[in-house]
Structure 1
Amino acid sequence: MYDRAAKGERAVLVQTVRAGDSDAAARLDEFAELAASAGASAVARVFARVDTPNARFLLGTGKVEELRELKLANDADLILVNDTLTPVQERNLEKFCECRVVGRTGLILDIFALRARSHEGKLQVELAQLKHMATRVVRGWSGLDSQRGGSIGLRGPGETKLELDRRYLRGRIQQLQERLDKVALQREQTRRSRQRNAIPTVSLVGYTNAGKSTLFNRLSGADVYAADQLFATLDPTLRRIDGLPSGPFVLADTVGFIRDLPHDLVAAFQSTLAETRDADLLLHVVDAGDPERDQRMADVDAVLAEIGAAELPQVLVFNKIDTLDDAAPRRDDVEGGRQPRVWISAAQGLGLDLLREAIVEQLGRDRVRTMLHLAPEQGRLRARLYEAGVVQRETPADDGGWALALDAPRTRLQALFGLGDGDGGFLRGALAGVAASHGAE
Structure 2
Amino acid sequence: MDDELKGEVTRGARALVVYPHMRGNRGSADLDPEARLEEAKGLALAIGLVIADGQIIPIREPRAGTLFGEGQIENISVACNLHEAELVVVDGSLTAIQQRNLEEKLKRKVIDRTGLILEIFGERAATAEGRLQVELAHLDYQAGRLVRSWTHLERQRGGFGFLGGPGETQIEADRRMIRDRMGRLRRELEQVRRTRGLHRDRREKAPWPIVALVGYTNAGKSTLFNRVTGADVMAEDLLFATLDPTMRAVRLPGVQKAILSDTVGFISDLPTQLVAAFRATLEEVTAADVILHVRDIANPDTESQKRQVLSVLLDLGVIPREDDEEEPGEEPTIPIIEVWNKWDLLSPERAEELREVIDYRSDETIIPLSAVTGEGCEHLLDVVGHGLNADAKVYTFVLPAADGQRLAFLHARGEVLSEVADGEDENGPRIRIEVRLAERELGRFRAL
Task: Report the TM-score when normalising by structure 2.
Answer: 0.73
Find the residue that maps to 2:174 and give its secondary structure. helix
Deviations 1:232-268 (A, max 9, x none): 1111111122352044221100111111111111111
Deviations 1:294-325 (A, max 9, x none): 11111111111122222221110001111112
Whether 1:188 and 2:197 are equivalent positions in the alignment is yes
Taking the aligned partners of 2:248 and 2:127, their CA distance within structure 1 comes to 16
Deviations 1:370-413 (A, max 9, x none): xxxxxxxxxxxxxxxxxxxxxxxxxxxxxxxxxxxx9559xxxx
Corresponding residue of 1:6: 8
What is the 5 A alignment of 1:106-125?
A: 106-125=115-134
Taking the aligned partners of 1:18 and 1:235, their CA distance within structure 2 comes to 33
Shift of 1:361: 2.9
CA contact (8 A) 1:198 1:407 kept: no
Corresponding residue of 2:309: 300
CA contact (8 A) 1:330 1:351 kept: no
From the superposition, tell whether residues 335 and 319 of structure 1 become closer, same or farther in structure 2 (CA, over 3 Å): closer
CA contact (8 A) 1:80 1:102 kept: yes
Find the residue that maps to 1:16 and give its secondary structure. strand
CA contact (8 A) 2:17 2:41 kept: yes
Query: Which runs of structure 1 show a deviation greater than 4 angstroms over 4 or more consecutive aligned residues?
Result: 161-164, 327-337, 406-409
Corresponding residue of 1:316: 338
Taking the aligned partners of 1:109 and 1:142, their CA distance within structure 2 comes to 18
User: Pick from 378, 382, 389: which aligns with 1:364?
Assistant: 389
Taking the aligned partners of 2:225 and 2:297, their CA distance within structure 1 comes to 17
User: Pick from 214, 239, 244: which aligns with 2:223?
Assistant: 214
Corresponding residue of 1:344: 369
From the superposition, tell whether residues 313 and 75 of structure 1 become closer, same or farther in structure 2 (CA, over 3 Å): same
From the superposition, tell whether residues 220 and 115 of structure 1 become closer, same or farther in structure 2 (CA, over 3 Å): same
From the superposition, tell whether residues 49 and 325 of structure 1 become closer, same or farther in structure 2 (CA, over 3 Å): closer
Taking the aligned partners of 2:346 and 2:226, their CA distance within structure 1 comes to 22
Corresponding residue of 1:432: none
Taking the aligned partners of 2:250 and 2:362, their CA distance within structure 1 comes to 27
Shift of 1:76: 2.1
Structure 1 residue ranges without an equivalent (≥5): 144-160, 369-405, 410-441
Whether 1:34 and 2:36 are equivalent positions in the alignment is no
User: Pick from 57, 63, 66: which aligns with 1:54?
Assistant: 63
Corresponding residue of 2:98: 89
Deviations 1:46-67 (A, max 9, x none): 2222111110111112111222
Taking the aligned partners of 1:263 and 1:57, their CA distance within structure 2 comes to 22
CA contact (8 A) 2:225 2:231 kept: yes
Taking the aligned partners of 2:138 and 2:54, their CA distance within structure 1 comes to 26
CA contact (8 A) 2:37 2:55 kept: no
Q: How many residues align?
A: 355
Query: 2:306 is aligned with what amino acid?
Result: M
What is the 5 A alignment of 1:210-359?
A: 210-310=219-319, 311=332, 312-326=334-348, 327=351, 332=358, 337=363, 339-359=364-384
From the superposition, tell whether residues 291 and 164 of structure 1 become closer, same or farther in structure 2 (CA, over 3 Å): closer
Taking the aligned partners of 1:35 and 1:128, their CA distance within structure 2 comes to 19
CA contact (8 A) 2:15 2:88 kept: yes
Find the residue that maps to 2:233 and give its secondary structure. coil
Taking the aligned partners of 1:359 and 1:334, their CA distance within structure 2 comes to 21
Over the aligned positions, Cα root-mean-square deviation in angstroms equals 2.7
Whether 1:17 and 2:21 are equivalent positions in the alignment is yes
Deviations 1:54-88 (A, max 9, x none): 10111112111222232233332211001111111
Query: 1:6 is aligned with what amino acid?
Result: E
CA contact (8 A) 1:130 1:169 kept: yes
Corresponding residue of 2:420: none
Find the residue that maps to 1:234 and give its secondary structure. coil
From the superposition, tell whether residues 85 and 123 of structure 1 become closer, same or farther in structure 2 (CA, over 3 Å): same
Shift of 1:334: 7.3
Query: 1:362 is aligned with what amino acid?
Result: G
Find the residue that maps to 1:47 and give its secondary structure. strand
Query: 1:182 is aligned with what amino acid?
Result: Q
Shift of 1:37: 0.7
Shift of 1:141: 6.8
CA contact (8 A) 2:43 2:239 kept: yes
Structure 2 residue ranges without an equivalent (≥5): 153-169, 320-331, 394-437, 442-448
Query: 1:2 is aligned with what amino acid?
Result: D
Taking the aligned partners of 1:164 and 1:115, their CA distance within structure 2 comes to 25
CA contact (8 A) 1:320 1:344 kept: yes
| Worse-superposed segment, 55-64 or 319-328 | 319-328
Taking the aligned partners of 1:169 and 1:72, their CA distance within structure 2 comes to 37
Query: 1:314 is aligned with what amino acid?
Result: I
From the superposition, tell whether residues 89 and 180 of structure 1 become closer, same or farther in structure 2 (CA, over 3 Å): same
